[in-house]
Amino acid sequence: MIEFLGLHPECGKDYVVCLGFFDGVHCGHRALIDAALALKESDGFFICVHTYTQSPAQILFPDQAYQELTPLQEKTDILFNYGVDTVAFSSFDKQLMQMSGEDFLDKLLLQSMQVKALVIGYNHRFGFAAKTDHVKLRELCNQRNLQLIVVPPVKTTEGLIVSSTAIREALKNRNYSLAQEMLGRPLDSHLLNMQ
């Protein structure tokens, strides 16, 4: 149910796992990775990003057009360049959609690697009907003696919250400077050609 790239978790290392789709690997995502890097430095944890092979939006809203900001291979390359040791992929399918947040944690993550800490964004939700938010996850982590870091929103110089949706909107409106600020890196041809 999980595929791994990079350092394989069977090596017996302790991990901090960042959860999310990481579309665009923008400044908000970078804040999650930076929090994980701090744990790597202080506690020696290896860093894993858990993501999906396709956007959950493509499954949940199949009638809506959806363009990913970063194709899977590019996303993986960016994550490794930022210092991630392992990228874990799950297929967002009906089985995963029906899984509770507790089962996701226990049967997917904790059975696959030695997780010591999780990092999520302030608005990250997962599990059946997206019922597991940071409050519920903190409860689950406390029960399992796991550390949880919830990263607050990252904002632009104008005070806009950085998100993949906001980047898509900026690209649609041809506000390339705003899109680039939120990404934290130059726009590539794929992004410049998005409508």
Distance CA 10, CA 170 (A): 41
Residues of the domain holding 46: 12-153
Side chain identity, residue 123: N
Core vs surface per residue 135-167: b (16+ CB within 10 A) or e: ebbeebbeeeebeebbbeebeeeeebebbbebb
Whether 39 is covered by a domain: the verdict is yes
Whether 168 is covered by a domain: the verdict is no
CB-CB contact of 145 with 115 (8 Å): no
Whether 193 is covered by a domain: the verdict is no
Give the domain CATH number at 45.
3.40.50.620
Other Cβ atoms closer than 10 A to 20? 20
Give residue 93's pLDDT.
80
Whether 136 is covered by a domain: the verdict is yes
Reading the block at residue 116, the tokens are 């010591």
Q: How many domains in the chain?
A: 1
Give residue 57's pLDDT.
63
Whether 188 is covered by a domain: the verdict is no
Write out the chain's pLDDT in tens, 195 residues. 688 888 877 777 899 999 999 999 999 999 999 999 999 999 999 999 999 887 766 666 667 766 889 999 999 999 999 999 999 998 878 888 889 999 999 999 999 999 999 999 999 999 888 899 999 999 999 999 999 999 999 999 999 999 999 999 999 999 999 999 999 999 988 888 876
Whether 182 is covered by a domain: the verdict is no
Whether 124 is covered by a domain: the verdict is yes
**DSSP letter assigned to residue 156:** -
In degrees, rounded to 5, the angle at the alpha carbon of residue 133 between the alpha carbons of residues 127 and 134 is: 130
Whether 122 is covered by a domain: the verdict is yes
- Supply the DSSP string of 84-109, one letter for each residue: -SEEEEE---HHHHHS-HHHIIIIII
Distance CA 188, CA 77 (A): 14
